């Protein structure tokens, strides 16, 4: 089996957010959760638990976002000091 991009899902304090997904995306999330659980020897993972690490991974891989974020943080730090 191929290694999935996500690893084990951390148990972190959540912030409630309501989102509507297309049915096809939901079905894919269910299938992904089953595969990930099987790969890591875990119980089946609900789509709601997959979305946060998937979004985080997506944002980490976005170079333009990372650059803009670094520049913003740098500008804030310069304004403080």
Q: What is the pLDDT of residues 29-39, one digit of tens each?
A: 999 999 999 99
Which of 4, 55, 47 has its CA nearest to residue 26? Answer: 47
pLDDT, tens only, 41-72: 999 999 999 998 999 999 888 888 888 888 88
- The answer to whether residues 46 and 26 touch, using CB atoms and an 8 Å cutoff, is no
* Cα angle 24, 56, 58; round to 5: 65
Whether 39 maps to a domain, the answer reads yes
Q: Is the pTM above the cut of 0.85?
A: no
**18 within a domain of the structure (yes/no):** no
Whether 12 is covered by a domain: the verdict is no
Is 1 part of a structural domain of the chain?
Answer: no
**3 band by pLDDT with thresholds 50, 70 and 90:** confident
Q: Is residue 51 part of a domain?
A: yes
Q: Is residue 62 part of a domain?
A: yes
**Is 61 among the domain residues?**
yes
**Other C-beta atoms within 10 Å of 33: how many?**
21
- Helix ranges (H only) for the chain are 23-40, 47-60, 63-80
Domain that holds residue 55: 23-80
When divided into structural domains, the chain yields a total of 1
Q: Which residues fall within 8 angstroms of residue 43, CB to CB, at 6 or more apart?
A: 37
């Amino acid at each position: 089996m191929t290694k999935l991009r996500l690893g084990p899902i951390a148990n972190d304090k959540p912030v409630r957010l309501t989102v509507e997904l297309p049915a096809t995306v939901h079905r894919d999330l269910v299938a992904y959760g089953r595969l990930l659980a099987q790969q890591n020897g875990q119980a089946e993972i609900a789509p709601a638990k997959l979305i946060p690490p998937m979004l985080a991974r997506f944002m980490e891989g976005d170079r333009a976002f990372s650059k803009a974020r670094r520049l913003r943080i740098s500008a804030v730090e310069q304004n403080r000091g």
